Amino acid sequence: MKTLLSGASEPNLTLSAERIQARRQTSYGTLLLLGLMANWALSTFGVGDARALELEKTILVDEIMDLAQRAFRYRPLAASAMPGFIMAAKAMTSPGDAARRARLEELLAVYLSDFPASI
pLDDT band, residue 1 (cuts 50/70/90): very low
Residue 75 lies in a domain: yes
Q: What is the total count of domains within the chain?
A: 1
Alpha-carbon span 5 to 91, nearest angstrom: 24
Residue 54 lies in a domain: yes
Residue 7 lies in a domain: no
At residue 97, the 3 state secondary structure works out as coil
Residue 5 lies in a domain: no
Q: Is 78 exposed, middle or buried (0-12, 13-18, 19+ CB in 10 A)?
A: middle
Q: Provide the pLDDT for residue 24.
A: 93
Q: Is the pLDDT of residue 58 over 80?
A: yes
Q: Provide the pLDDT for residue 114.
A: 84
Residue type, 63: E
Residue 37 lies in a domain: yes
Residue 4 lies in a domain: no
Q: Which domain holds residue 72?
A: 14-114
Q: What is the pLDDT of residues 92-104, one digit of tens each?
A: 998 899 999 999 9
Total Cβ atoms within 10 A of residue 67: 20
Q: What is the pLDDT of residues 18-47, one digit of tens each?
A: 889 889 999 999 999 999 999 999 999 999
